[in-house]
Amino acid sequence: MTPAFTGPAFTAPTFTVRAPASSANLGPGFDSLGISLGLFTTLRVTRQSLTQVVPLGPELQGTPTDTSNYVYRCMQLTARRVGRELPPVRVEIETEVPLARGLGSSAAALVAGLVAANVLLGEPLGQDELLDMAAREEGHADNVAPALMGGIAVATLDKVGTHYVRLEPPEHLGVTVLIPDFELSTQKARAVLPSEYSRADTVHALSHAALLAAALATGRLDLLRHAMQDYVHQIWRAPLVPGLSDVLEGATGHGALGAALSGAGPTVLCFHDARQDTAGLHAFLNGVMRRNGLNGRVLNLPIDLRGVVTSGDL
Q: What is the pLDDT of residue 312?
A: 61
Q: How confident is the model at residue 9 (pLDDT cuts 50, 70, 90)?
A: very low
Total-model pTM: 0.92
- Give the mean model confidence (pLDDT) for residues 102-131: 96
Is pLDDT above 50 for 170? yes
Which residue has better confidence, 314 or 47? Answer: 47
Query: Is the previous residue joined to 124 through a cis bond, with omega within 30 degrees of 0?
Result: no
Which domains does the chain possess?
14-167+304-311 (3.30.230.10), 173-301 (3.30.70.890)
Q: What is the pLDDT of residue 12?
A: 57
Q: Read off the pLDDT of residues 191-243 as tens digits, 9 standing for 90 and up.
A: 999 999 999 999 999 999 999 999 999 999 999 999 999 999 999 999 999 99
**How does the average pLDDT of the chain come out, rounded?**
93
Q: How confident is the model at residue 313 (pLDDT cuts 50, 70, 90)?
A: very low
Q: What is the pLDDT of residue 1?
A: 35
Q: What is the pLDDT of residue 146?
A: 98
Q: What is the pLDDT of residue 314?
A: 37
Q: Read off the pLDDT of residues 246-300 as tens digits, 9 standing for 90 and up.
A: 999 999 999 999 999 999 999 999 999 999 999 999 999 999 999 999 999 999 9
Q: What is the pLDDT of residue 13?
A: 82
Q: How confident is the model at residue 161 (pLDDT cuts 50, 70, 90)?
A: very high
- Give the mean model confidence (pLDDT) for residues 79-103: 96
Q: Read off the pLDDT of residues 40-60 as tens digits, 9 standing for 90 and up.
A: 999 999 999 999 999 999 999
